[in-house]
A and B are shown apart, each in its own frame.
Chain A
Amino acid sequence: MTPEVWLLLGGVLLVLLLLAAVWTLTRLSRLERRVARAWTALDTQLQRRAGLAEELARNYPAAVGEDRAEYLAAFAADARRPVDGDRELAENLLGRELRDLADDLPGVPVALRTDLVGTATRVGLARRFYNDAVRDTRALRRGRLSRLLRLHASRQLPPYFDIEVRLETARPRPDRVAKSAS
């Protein structure tokens, strides 16, 4: 083959590679926006849950029990501003505390109880949608093209938000404490 043909072939290949790179970059930034939106949604629901827990502890300590109310208030405050920086652990503790409450809280208005149940559902949904978005991002970042061309390589991989929503027991995650403290 003549040098011209080689040059042409190389050119075509380069253009294809460029197109693929642009396309992948478009997908990556789209996913970045989706992750950001999903995080906002999850954060909103978690804040809302903490707010409801605080309201419950402050206004209806008799219904949940005095001891319980203190714990609840403390866990809610910690979920808003985790002392050791581990939000997942803090949210797990609050979630467990809320799950352990009796089903019929005497004296607590129906509206608040409905809100609590609704928020618990939405926390579950938001967590799943956020982790879905993270997984899609990670899958694309792991792709051959992304690694070859180092697309978005300087950006941190979005972390999974790993709280349990339905299971009965919460386990502390020492590995995560170490990771997020660094």
Chain B
Amino acid sequence: MRIGLVCPYQWDVPGGVQYHVRDLARTLRGMGHHVEVLTPAEREEALDPEWMTWAGRTVPVPYNGSMASMQFGPVSAARVRRWLRDGNFDVVHVHEPASPSVSLLVCMIAQGPIVATFHAATTRSKWLAAVGPMARPWLERISGRIAVSDFARRVQVEHLGGDAVIIPNGVHVAAFAEGPPLPGYSRGVDGPTIGFLGRYDEPRKGLPVLLEAMRTVQRRYPGVRLLIAGRGDAEEVRALIGADLQASVALLGELSEEDKGAFLRSVDVYCAPNLLGESFGVILIEALAAGAPIVASDLDAFKRVLDDGAAGVLVRRGDPPALAGALCALLDDPDRRAELSARGAVAAAGYDWDVLARRILAVYETVVVPDGGPVVAEDEHLVSAPTDGKRARSTLRWRGQG
């Protein structure tokens, strides 16, 4: 099958949607499909020219507490047209098409089977409320809609007026399940470790809450180490940590994919103290796959991934004493940790990319009708399309069948 994927955000900026598109593309290519990606990027060289096409740069606009990308105009439209023409795709799969991005452009220009995945899970977005109805005439062209979570589906239903099948975000389970730990931090050998991953300087990731809780944990386990991975200003976070915790905290900086796996395989407990705004929680699935017992705040998205507490411990968000209690209880109880670890592997299996890519392929196969022809750019279609009269007659079939 010839598949065209469209990513609306800059490829060389880390982000959940970008990773999703990348992993989906790789998995589908591994299954023998022809996959091409159209995406904006800061630097064109960041893309693999063999299967990726540069859609230009984007203009950042604030959206959902982070930065979203905006991209519109005749130059981008021309690139989209060329990509569609050269790609000759059986199906085009756009991501997050409700924002004014290259994804929406593809919806405006492409004619034929279009599948869309909706990622955003915030319902507070004024942006979406304002833009959603305007984008609607073009979103109407989408043949099959996918949402990555119940919450993303709800946004879709409430703001964009359409239903969607739920296919979650995925991880490469094997890449997290197997491999060496970080040197010096073997799980269960080198003294208790707690892991945190996320930007230090984004308060919504909840690092201050975890640091506060660590003061209690440290009194009970003087040898405990908190491993902090992620980007951010090291000086700022050191000030946040304070003198009393300095010895118990290790800053690992930004991790590569392999190191992230090693990090998750090393920690005795992975902690996600996020306060709000997490739309999915891929990191939790990665931690589950790596066999790390999890303590997470009770965000809706986390509850869903952790099966309402069956696959990990949930605590009230923004509550340091409760978090400290949960961390200590888990560090006290190796049997419980082993049990969570085993359950995690089972829970993570459902999120493996091999499984999810097959489900997404089923969506493609459903929207691609026999003899339907490839996806084309609209103006070409107007030239070569059969007349409306012909099509109107072919639609009579379902009327006759009643």
The answer, yes or no, to whether A41 is at the interface (CB within 8 Å) is yes
The answer on a CB contact under 8 Å between A40 and B369 is: yes
The answer, yes or no, to whether A94 is at the interface (CB within 8 Å) is no
Residue of B nearest to A118 (CB): B362
Q: How large is the interface on B (under 10, 10 to 19, 20 to 34, 35 or more residues)?
A: 20 to 34
The answer, yes or no, to whether A115 is at the interface (CB within 8 Å) is no
Asked if A125 meets B366 with Cβ closer than 8 Å, knowing A39-B398, A132-B145, A158-B398, the reply is yes
Of the residues A36, A86, A118, A128, contact of B391 by C-beta under 8 Å: A36
The answer on a CB contact under 8 Å between B369 and A37 is: yes
Number of interface residues, chain A, beta carbon within 8 A: 39
Asked if A129 meets B137 with Cβ closer than 8 Å, knowing A39-B398, A40-B369, A136-B162, the reply is no
For B401, the chain A residues whose CB sits under 8 A away are 87
Q: Is the interface of A mostly helix, strand, loop or mixed?
A: helix
The answer on a CB contact under 8 Å between A27 and B137 is: yes
The answer, yes or no, to whether B67 is at the interface (CB within 8 Å) is no
The answer on a CB contact under 8 Å between A34 and B143 is: yes
The answer on a CB contact under 8 Å between B369 and A41 is: yes
Interface string of A12-53 (1 = CB under 8 A from B): 000000000001000101111111111111011100000000
Interface string of B128-144 (1 = CB under 8 A from A): 00000000010011011
For B32, the chain A residues whose CB sits under 8 A away are none
The answer, yes or no, to whether B161 is at the interface (CB within 8 Å) is yes
Task: State in angstroms the CA–CA spacing of A118 and B367 once bound together.
Answer: 15
Of the residues A37, A135, A139, contact of B143 by C-beta under 8 Å: A37
The answer, yes or no, to whether B365 is at the interface (CB within 8 Å) is yes
Of the residues A27, A45, A85, A121, contact of B140 by C-beta under 8 Å: A27
> Nearest 3 CB-CB pairs, A to B?
A180-B402, A36-B395, A125-B366
Enumerate chain B interface residues (CB-CB to A < 8 A). Answer: 113, 137, 140-141, 143-145, 161-163, 165, 359, 362-363, 365-370, 372, 388, 391-392, 394-395, 397-399, 401-402
